[in-house]
Amino acid sequence: MEPEVVGNYLNLVKELNCQWAYIHAKSAGGGWIKSEAEGGGTKGNVTKQVYYEAVADTYFLFARYFSDNFLRKKDYVSYLFRRK
Summarised one tens digit per residue, pLDDT across range 29-45 is 665 566 556 666 677 78
47-72 pLDDT per residue, tens: 899 999 999 999 999 999 998 887 77
For the chain, how many structural domains are there in total?
Answer: 1
Which runs of consecutive H residues, i.e. helices, occur in the chain?
A: 3-15, 48-55
d(CA 13, CA 38): 33
Q: The sheet that has 59-66: what strands, in order across it? A: 20-26, 76-83, 59-66
21: pLDDT confidence band, cut at 50, 70 and 90? very high
Dihedral sign, Cα of residue 24, residue 34, residue 52, residue 4: negative
Residue range of the domain that includes 60: 3-83
End-to-end CA distance of the chain: 26
pTM of the predicted model, to two decimals? 0.80
